[in-house]
A and B are shown apart, each in its own frame.
Chain A
Amino acid sequence: MDADSLLLSLELASGSGQGLSPDRRASLLTSLMLVKRDYRYDRVLFWGRILGLVADYYIAQGLSEDQLAPRKTLYSLNCTEWSLLPPATEEMVAQSSVVKGRFMGDPSYEYEHTELQKVNEGDKVFEEEIVIDKAVAIIPRGALFKTPFGPTHVNRTFEGLSLSEAKKLSSYFHFREPVELKNKTLLEKADLDPSLDFMDSLEHDIPKGSWSIQMERGNALVVLRSLLWPGLTFYHAPRTKHYGYIYVGTGEKNMDLPFML
């Protein structure tokens, strides 16, 4: 969620129950301002909170002008001091996916795994965050548009999805480089608007039904929750510009999803 509209966003996302305590909120507001200035980001998003056994990690992302460019990730343990997480490499991704279990809350904690070497928790946090972000960060259709020269911009005339669109999974896209777009048939592609439909939609996510879409407060708020990564909540107030997502959870994938549906 945007750091600028943090308070409203937290209020709207509160349906899932997990939020931030007042002191964290207050420190977030101030520290994210400073982060934006120091790192010269165009937008700073508060990504969420990973619950650890001892302490929680608070994660923020910084975006540059081009919305789809790789985002810089920062973490903090107390919402005041932020540190940049180092970029991930392939091996690290592979390693951390093997290590299961909860996060400790201590970035220097080392996981031991019989086959591989020890994995630093700091790395693991980052990997998980990247994985989760790639999997479930979402954006409503029309919020970003692509210019012919390449960079993707925030659409300033995005007035929100209409109610009928808001209830459909196809109006939401993954906030990442498209993966499945090329696999679409020509017929499907003909209907797409290249300036708006340049990301993968949620409709074709596997397993089907891994998103729970609900209307809260009558039809005034649409909330999507991921069932594959429990803890991710996306909210959008139809016909307004407010949307955002936050992850508050243990950082583990729900592998039992097929049994649970």
Chain B
Amino acid sequence: MEDSTSPKQEKENQEKLGEARRSWEGKTAASPQYSEPESSEPLEAKQGPETGRQSRSSRPWSPQSRARTPLGGPAGPETSSPAPLSRREPSSTPSPPAPARQDLAAPPQSHRTTSVIPEAGTPYPDPLEQSSDKRESVPLHTSQSERNTFQQSQQPKPHPCGPRDVSYNNAKQKELRFDVFQEADSNSDCDLQLPAPGGSEGAPSMLETAIQNAKAYLLKTSSKSGFNLYDHLSNMLTKILNERPENAVDIFENISQDVKMAHFSKKFDALHNENEMLPTYEIAEKQKALFLQGHLEGVDQELEDEIAENALPNVMESAFYFEQAGVGLGTDETYRIFLALKQLTDTHPIQRCRFWGKILGLEMNYIVAEVEFREGEDEEEVEEEDVAEERDNGESEADEDEEDELPKSFYKAPQAIPKEESRTGANKYVYFVCNEPGRPWVKLPPVIPAQIVIARKIKKFFTGRLDAPVISYPPFPGNESNYLRAQIARISAGTHISPLGFYQFGEEEGEEEEVEGGQNSFEENPDFEGIQVTDLVESLSNWVHHVQHILSQGRCNWFNSIQKNEEEEEEGEEEDEEKEEPDYIEQEVGPPLLTPISEDLEIQNIPPWTTRLSSNLIPQYAIAVLQSNLWPGAYAFSNGKKFENFYIGWGHKYSPDNYTPPVPPPVYQEYPSGPEITEMDDPSVEEEQAFRAAQEAVLLAAENEESEEDEDEEDDYD
């Protein structure tokens, strides 16, 4: 646009130059002259669309139209001091503002003339370069600057639109200028100018006045935010025209908000986002480390070793099957868990490892891996539990040291049932947990029977922090890691199943008598041929538990606590012979290993397991899926040959009735009742008096006996 206009402008400029000089010398006189020649010339010089405007503008406008044309600024301005010129360069307003400034008092004509000149004489053919001189102090400047502003604000939009907009700009400028001039003070002069050129301008001038008023109002800057409505509207319209959203009118307010907010974007965000996004980046880094671990050792031999060892299960394959059943964590997440498991197997001496499942918590979740260590490589267990047991025995002895012999309670804490050895029973596997793949794995402590017993009585959500206390009644002996371990043990015992025949008992049968709970060991059956999927779905007897049932004692193998009791008797308890414990506790028996799940108890008419085919549409490739109704979230699948168990859920058992916490036991009669410790009421006043009277009577009697002769003295006593 500029280019097109520039040649013309140059012509004009030169003309204006001459005029400018003239006007500079003779102000008032010059102006009308100006108006004439200027109006004519620009008229010719300007492009079509502008012509119309030009004519309209005629005299009073001509200077302004000139101003429009500032698109090209000739050197006319030289007349004015170079300084203002240079200053004006960015704004592409001609230097004449300086002289204009000086001519504050000069009639508007000179304004106009000078302004014309400046405009005409703008050395810069580029109106767009006008910077915002809006806030310049000098009023004249202000007028100019406002003009410029107009140009500027107009420029971006009309710019792409072609010369048409230039005229539009110019018209606006004219209007503004007109308005400004009105505000300045030369109202009368302006008016003079107005009618002077010709009466034809009467009507449009009213309209234009109004338009200019409106525009000036729009340009008023807000005292709060420093914006003005004009700019804001033009920005919004620009945005809308660029983006062209649907139904823009409906989201107009939102667009307005967005435009306003866009002013504030940059600096703020850089800091803000940093803090919030840090955890994301952290976890991403950790997970990246997971992906990189494979590259650490590039030795081929190690690769072969890895493949040979086969400790890691094929998690992705199981995940695929579970997905058929609609259960799973999503492929990406599962893959990360897979890598985390690999990391686990690399860092610990693990014989076999399995992805057990995920337990949801309030703040964080747990990903659980079931692990079997290699022979002889178990980590040392903490011996705290043994210490606790001994303490019970020691307590009663301590009482005897008191001087005031306190009554001895014959309460004896029930014998703590020792936990099962590792690799047997409930502690057959070791469990590792982590909150998210990428975080370090933490080993869970082995479970003790007391924990299982109490875990059966409470129902608490997991928080996600392993060291969180478990506050419950009955009080749980341990913190969340113990509770978690106990629940895992219960879930495994209740829901780990396999197709019948997959596992078989070991060959050694000589130990049956000694092992009280039944067979402990099983091994894979190499001759397993698989069961038809349809059979697996139809009948529950095709599935068996391969984890030992946990007795109500809390162990899988029965522990007879009576024998130990007898030993302790001899150690130093001198209590009564009466014992409230029976001499013989019946041995608890649970269903033996590898019992079919058809033997599982129903829960109030609900079958314990729900069987499904994974897909009804393509039954030939479907797999059998079992869902536990007792432990919601426990799933097992089998495709005939392969099987897998999985748990995802909150970690609680299902019960159709509401949970009721157990009632505290009745108060225990722990001390022998006798006069020393039996509480008695304090004697009342009458009793005391009676007692005293009785005592005195006794005394009297005694004295009477002693001195029968001293009857006088007796009288005195009374």
Q: How far is the CA of A191 from the CA of B535 in the complex (A)?
A: 64
> Nearest B residue to A163 by beta-carbon distance?
B276
Cα distance A18–B649 when bound, in Å? 9
User: When A51-B627, A250-B632 are in contact, do A14 and B330 touch as well, CB less than 8 Å?
Assistant: yes
Q: Mark A13-55, 1 if CB is under 8 A from B, else 0.
A: 0111111111110000000000000000000000001010110
**Cβ 8 A contact of A15, one of B245, B258, B330:** B330
Interchain CA distance A165-B71 in the complex, whole Å: 51
Q: Which of A23, A49, A164, A230 contacts B617 (CB 8 A)?
A: A23
Q: Mark A174-185, 1 if CB is under 8 A from B, else 0.
A: 000000000000
Chain A residues whose C-beta falls within 8 Å of the C-beta of B694 in the assembled complex: none
Cα A214 to Cα B107 in complex, Å, equals: 74
A186 interface residue (CB < 8 Å to B): no
Q: Which residues of B contact A163 (CB under 8 A)?
A: 276-277
Give the contacting residue for A256; candidates B361, B616, B659; CB below 8 A: B659
Determine which of A157, A259, A260 lies in contact with B258 in the assembled complex, contact meaning CB atoms within 8 Å: A157
CA distance A40 to B327 in the complex (A): 32
> Is the CB–CB distance between B627 and A102 below 8 Å?
no
- Is the CB of B650 closer than 8 A to any CB of chain A? yes
Q: Which residues of A contact B362 (CB under 8 A)?
A: 209, 212, 214, 227
Q: Determine the chain B residues whose CB is within 8 A of the CB of A212 once the complex forms.
A: 360-363, 461
Q: Which of A11, A215, A261 interacts with B279 by CB under 8 Å?
A: A215
Measured between beta carbons, the chain A residues less than 8 angstroms from B658 are: 255-256
B282-299 vs A, CB cutoff 8 Å, 1 = contact: the mask equals 111000000000000000
Residues of B contacting A54 with CB < 8 Å?
Answer: 610
| Given known A-B contacts A17-B649, A21-B324, A101 and B282 have beta carbons under 8 A apart | no
Q: Does A225 sit at the interface, judged by CB under 8 A?
A: yes
B626 contacts chain A at the CB level, 8 A cutoff: no
Distance between B211 CB and nearest chain A CB, rounded to angstroms: 32
B461 A261 Cβ-Cβ under 8 A: yes
- Cβ contact within 8 Å between B326 and A20: yes
Contacts of A15 in B (CB 8 A): 329-330, 333, 365
Are B629 and A53 closer than 8 Å at their CB atoms?
yes
Bound together, the chains give a CA A213 to CA B282 distance in angstroms of: 20
Number of interface residues of B (CB under 8 A): 57
Q: Is A134 an interface residue (CB 8 A)?
A: no
Set of chain B residues within 8 Å of A230, measured between Cβ atoms: 650
Query: Is B430 in the interface zone, CB < 8 Å from A?
Result: no
Query: Which residues of chain B (316-371) have a CB below 8 Å from chain A?
Result: 323-330, 333, 358, 360-365
Contact of B326 among A18, A157, A209, A218 (CB under 8 A): A18
Cβ of B228 within 8 Å of any chain A Cβ, yes or no, is: no
In the assembled complex, the CB of A50 is this many whole angstroms from the nearest CB of chain B, namely 13
Give the contacting residue for A102; candidates B327, B333, B629; CB below 8 A.
Answer: B629
| A193 nearest CB across to chain B (Å) | 12
Is the beta-carbon distance between A101 and B251 smaller than 8 angstroms?
no
B610–A14 CB distance below 8 A: no
What interface size band does chain A fall in? 35 or more
* Inter-chain contacts of A53 with B (CB < 8 A): 606-607, 610, 629
Complex contacts, B254 vs chain A, CB 8 Å? 155-157
A98 lies within 8 A of chain B by Cβ:
no
Interface residues of B in 605-632 (CB under 8 A from A): 606-607, 610, 614-618, 627, 629, 632
A108 in contact (CB, < 8 A) = no
Distance between Cα atoms of A130 and B101 in the complex (Å): 77
Collect the chain B residues with CB atoms within 8 Å of residue A22's CB: 323-324
Contacts of B650 in A (CB 8 A): 230
Q: Which residues, 216 to 239 on A, are CB-close (under 8 Å) to B? A: 216-220, 225, 227, 230
Which residues of chain A from 146 to 202 have a CB within 8 Å of any chain B CB? 153, 155-157, 162-164
> What does the 1/0 interface line of B44-80 toward A look like (CB < 8 Å)?
0000000000000000000000000000000000000
CA distance A23 to B459 in the complex (A): 36
Cross-chain contact A21 with B607 (CB below 8 angstroms): no
A158 to chain B, nearest CB (A): 9
Chain B residues contacting A256 (CB-CB under 8 Å) are 459, 658-659
Q: Is A100 an interface residue (CB 8 A)?
A: yes
Q: Does A214 lie within 8 Å of B460, measured CB to CB?
A: no
Set of chain B residues within 8 Å of A21, measured between Cβ atoms: 323-326, 614-615
Q: Give Cα A230 to B653, complex, Å.
A: 13
Closest to B461 in A: A260
Q: Is A78 positioned at the interface, with any CB of B under 8 Å from its CB? A: yes
User: B582 contacts the other chain (Cβ, under 8 Å)?
Assistant: no
Query: Cα distance A101–B330 when bound, in Å?
Result: 30
Interface string of B635-656 (1 = CB under 8 A from A): 0000000000000111010101
CA distance A54 to B607 in the complex (A): 10
Which of these, B459, B607, B617, B632, contacts A259 with CB under 8 Å? B459
- Asked if A17 and B633 make an inter-chain contact with CB atoms under 8 angstroms apart, the answer reads yes
- Chain A residues closer than 8 Å to B7, beta-carbon distance: none
Q: Which of A115-138 contact B (CB under 8 A)?
A: none
Query: What are the residues of chain B within 8 A of A219 when measuring CB–CB?
Result: 276-277, 279-280
State how many angstroms separate the Cβ of B253 from the closest Cβ of chain A.
9
Whole-angstrom CA separation of A20 from B327 in the bound complex: 7
Closest to A26 in B: B617
A-B contact pairs, 26 of them (CB 8 A): A15-B333, A15-B365, A19-B323, A19-B326, A19-B328, A19-B330, A20-B326, A23-B617, A23-B618, A54-B610, A78-B616, A100-B656, A101-B604, A156-B245, A156-B250, A156-B251, A157-B254, A164-B276, A214-B365, A215-B279, A218-B279, A218-B283, A218-B284, A219-B279, A255-B658, A259-B459
Q: A14-B330, A24-B326, A163-B276 are in contact. List 17 more A-B contacts (CB 8 A).
A: A17-B329, A17-B649, A18-B327, A21-B326, A23-B615, A49-B326, A54-B610, A156-B250, A212-B360, A216-B436, A218-B281, A218-B284, A219-B276, A220-B280, A256-B659, A259-B459, A260-B652
Binding site for B on A (CB under 8 A): 11, 14-24, 49, 51, 53-54, 78, 100-102, 153, 155-157, 162-164, 209, 212, 214-220, 225, 227, 230, 250, 255-256, 259-261
Closest 4 CB pairs of A and B: A17-B648, A218-B280, A14-B330, A218-B283
